[in-house]
């Protein structure tokens, strides 16, 4: 069961991660700092999943990116694009609606 549970957890988190990343990247960040920012709010995501996800969101036009060399270190910075903000708002509305529905089901079946 633990394997199945882990698979279900992953599935549940997959969609939410997009919300979390789009939210976190309202402020410009690079890969490693993004991961730290997510960890700080108890969203622990493997880097092998996070970096490709960020790339995908960028390819969908939801993130803007640029290379920068600050403090002698070359980094790629990402920020949620206007289209990304629009998508985020839509997804957040859906998420809140789902949360409400779940609460109702939970309440009704107590």
Partner 1 sequence: MNFLTKKSPLDRYIADVKSYLPAKNRADIVEELRVNLAEKLANRAEDSGVEVSEESEIELLSEFGHPLRLAAQYQGEERSLVGPTLYPFYRMSVLVSLVISTCVMLSISLAEIFFRVELGDVSSPWMFVNTYIYIIGVITAGYVLTERLMERHNYLDSWEPNAMEQPDNALASAWGALVACIAAITWLVILNLLSIEHSLETLLGQNQNPIYTLVFWMKIETVILIPQYFYLVFNQTWSRNRLQLRIGSELILSLGCVVILFNNAGSLGLNYPDVPQSLASAFYYVLWGMIIATTLSAISYWRKLRLLEISD
- By the criterion CB under 8 A, which residues form the site for partner 1? 30-32, 46-49, 51-53, 55-56, 59, 73-76
Edge-first strand listing for the sheet containing 29-30:
29-30, 73-80, 63-70
Q: Smaller CB distance to partner 1: residue 71 or 107? A: 71
- Provide the minimum distance between the beta carbon of 74 and partner 1 in the complex, in angstroms, as a whole number: 6
Element (H, E) at 36: helix 31-40
- Provide the minimum distance between the beta carbon of 12 and partner 1 in the complex, in angstroms, as a whole number: 18
- Provide the minimum distance between the beta carbon of 69 and partner 1 in the complex, in angstroms, as a whole number: 10
| Contacts of residue 21, Cβ cutoff 8 Å, sequence gap at least 6 | 34, 38, 50, 53, 54, 57
């Amino acid at each position: 069961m633990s394997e199945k549970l882990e698979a279900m957890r992953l599935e549940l988190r997959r969609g939410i991660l997009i919300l979390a990343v789009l939210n976190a990247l309202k402020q410009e960040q690079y890969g490693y700092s993004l991961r730290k920012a997510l960890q700080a709010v108890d969203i622990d995501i493997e880097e092998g999943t996070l970096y490709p996800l960020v790339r995908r969101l960028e390819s969908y036009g939801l993130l803007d990116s640029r290379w920068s060399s600050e403090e002698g270190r070359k980094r790629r910075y990402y920020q949620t694009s206007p289209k990304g903000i629009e998508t985020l708002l839509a997804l957040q509305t859906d998420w809140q609606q789902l949360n409400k529905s779940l609460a109702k089901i939970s309440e009704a079946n107590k």
